[in-house]
Structure 1
Amino acid sequence: MSVLFSGRASGAKANRISALRRFLMFFVHHFRQALASLGELWRTPTASVLTIVVLGLSLTLPATLHLLVKNAQQISGSFAKAAEINLFIRDTASAQQIQSLITILNADKQISSVRHISKEQAMLEFQEASGFGAALSYLTDNPLPDVLVVQPVNTDPSAARALMQQLSNERIVEFAKLDLEWLTRLEAIVGLLQQAVFAIALLLLSAVLFIVSNTIRLSIISKREEIEVMKLVGATDAFIQRPFLYTGFWFGVLGGLLAFLVSEALLWWLRGAISKITDLYQSDFQIQAMNLTEFLSIILLAVLLGVVGSYLSVRRHIRAIEPAGP
């Protein structure tokens, strides 16, 4: 009985070792085929480089447009956060009424802050900004009104407009102003750019699939005799297809890296022109480059395109290759 139990135990152990060995050999075979496919790219540099360049440049355009849209959204978001409501006070309002309104506004939970610009302060700022200081000094009366600059808590355009309508009903308020029409137009343009990026990316990525698929097809045709011999000795279609799939994988990795480098080079080139514009407006805006998530996404997308394009080709052409009969 003990001999039987010992035999079963040794058999189970042998099965576990065999399963582990098969598991390790599976990855070893894949690793070898991946390296072999990378070596195949090195042996055919012209066709490989052309395919990688086309794939990389095809991804560069949508990637760069995405970065530009992202930075445009950053600009519109920063302006939205700076949305302010200007309340122009009636000339007949007394200082006590203005102070009472300021107290009421400060107690409103929809309002973040209130800043009072008096008539005198507004005139001084206008004299400095307009350059007509000497001429304005001859005015007998100050035509500028008191202004309350209200910063809303919710800077969303629709919420800011609703608050402006509410504040314009105050008794001593002549009228209220919230200049957000240009911001709405900017958001519409950004939305249009997003749709354009999606359409351009879809067209270019479809072209990439056809290019990778055609490159793999030519590679299969050049190795037709080798594939026929492999099928004669019993190789399965999956085994024969694997190196070509890894070729598509390497096309994707290298093409994605190229797209990243070219996109960063374009952003670096644009930084000079953008810095000149921001200096004119005394802005500290800095263009945002591709972050880690976007970098990994473009690599993953490129690899997916390479593998799918390769799979579409090998699935059709390798199955069609059969060794000639005797």
Structure 2
Amino acid sequence: GGVAKVDYNQQWISLLAELISYIELAALGVGILLSAAAVTIIGNTIRLALFARREEIEILRSIGATGTFIRVPYFLEGAALGACGSALSLGILKVGFELFRQQVEFISRFSEMEGLISFFPLSACLALVLAGTALGFTGSVVSLLRVGEGRV
């Protein structure tokens, strides 16, 4: 009276696992590209802000402001842009996720999948916002280095 044989289709499971590993690798590549794009965009935004305020910066220099005093607001602006951008992205992702989850739960209402799909935990969301903040800060540092140490 027991189970004589279980057919779990090992070949299909191996193929699916391989596909998932390729998808993870592609997602990592896309993440790296998007991070580089974020640093570039924020860096260019900071550079434009520096250009727009160049007369103010010259006035600050002429009255004795240190380079650090002039640079810190741009570092903070880059970090704030990164934090806001990552928080906004998470918000949009959450809305899309909820729409997807509702569709999946509607389709699988009578199956055992209901309730298995969940959004990122709060700790992961905070880590993503911190990563965005760090990318923004990095963008501002890169921008200030490009402009040159002597001018800002």
| 2:90 aligned to which of 241, 249, 260 | 260
Matched, 1:210 2:35: no
**Is the contact made by 1:224 and 1:321 (CA closer than 8 Å) also made in structure 2?**
no
Aligned to 2:69: 239
The structural deviation recorded for 1:319 is 2.8
Higher relative contact order (CA 8 A, sep 6+): 2
The aligned amino acid for 1:300 is L
Provide TM-score, normalisation by structure 2. 0.88
- Distance in 2 between residues matched to 1:239 and 1:215, nearest whole Å: 19
Asked if the contact 2:42–2:82 (Cα under 8 Å) also holds between the matched residues in 1, the reply is no
Match of 1:250 in 2: 80
Name which of 107, 113, 131 aligns with 1:301: 131
Unaligned runs of 5+ in 2: none
Return the offset for 1:278.
Answer: 2.5
Give 3-state SS (helix, strand or coil) of 1:290's partner: coil
SS of the aligned residue for 2:4 comes to strand
* Closer/same/farther in 2, CA of residues 315 and 178 from structure 1, 3 Å limit: closer
| Distance in 1, Cα, partners of 2:112 & 2:129 | 34
**Alpha-carbon distance in structure 2 between the residues aligned to 1:238 and 1:278:** 58
In structure 2, C-alpha distance between the alignment counterparts of 1:177 and 1:313, rounded to whole Å: 59
Cα root mean square deviation, aligned: 2.0
Q: Aligned in 2, Cα 1:236/1:303: closer, same or farther, shift over 3 Å?
A: same
Higher strand proportion (structure 1 or 2): 1
Query: Distance in 2 between the 1:295 and 1:192 partners?
Result: 24
Letter matched to residue 263 of structure 1: L
Unaligned stretches of 5+ in structure 1?
1-115, 118-146, 150-175
Moved over 6 A (4+): none
Asked if 1:148 is matched to 2:4, the reply is yes
1:219 matched residue in structure 2: 49
1:197 corresponding residue in structure 2: 27
Q: TM-score, normalised by structure 1?
A: 0.43
Corresponding residue of 2:113: 284
For 2:7 and 2:46, the matched residues in 1 are separated by 63
Q: Give distance in 2, aligned partners of 1:265 and 1:273.
A: 13
Residue 283 (structure 1) shift = 2.3
Q: Distance in 2 between matches of 1:217 and 1:204?
A: 20
Report the structure number with the largest CA radius of gyration: 1
Q: Percent identity?
A: 26
